[in-house]
Structure 1
C-alpha cells in the first residue's frame, strides 16, 4: 500500500511526459510521521529512476512559504511539482503559483479541486 501511494505521485508525473527529468516536492511539514514515511519512500523510489532529479522542501505549515517554494521550483525549471498542501482552501493560489508546470496534490485534496486546472 505504501509503495503504491508513494509511486503514484512520481509515476503520474513521469507518465505525462517522457522528458520529465526534474521534480520538486513541497510538503506541509517534515515532522509529521506519515509524511516522513511518504517522503522517505519518494526519495527511495526516485533513486531508482535513471536521470531523475528529485528535491523536496519543508513548508513548515506556512502557506506563504509553500507558495514561494512552488514559485522557486518553477523558476528553477522543474518539469513537475508534487504538493502536500498546507491549507486545503488554498488550492487556487498554489496552482496559480505553478503556472503551466504540471502539479500533483498528494495526501490532501484541495477544497476546490473541481475548479482547479487539469
Structure 2
C-alpha cells in the first residue's frame, strides 16, 4: 500500500464551499467505481476554511498516469471533474489545468 497526500484550494466563497461539501456527501457511483478500478483502496478529503487535503491509499496497480488515462476515457468522471472545477482553484505554482498537487511527506512518527 502506498499513501499519497494532496492539496487543493476551493474558491474563497462560503456558499461555494458548502455546495462542494454537499456534492461530496453524494459522490457519483461512477466516480467511486473509477477510483477503485484504478487501484485506489482508500480516500479521504479534509477541509479547513477553503483548503482541502486528500489522503489517498493505493494498491500496487495504481499509477497517476494510468488514473489520468482512465479518467480521460470516462465521460462521467469528466463531467464530475468539470463540475468540481467550478468550486476549485489552482494553487500558486500549479501548472495550467493542474488541480490536486502532491504534498511532500516531511515527518512520520513511524520512522
Per the normalisation by structure 1, the TM-score is 0.29
Greater gyration radius: 2
Between structures 1 and 2, the one with greater helix share: 1
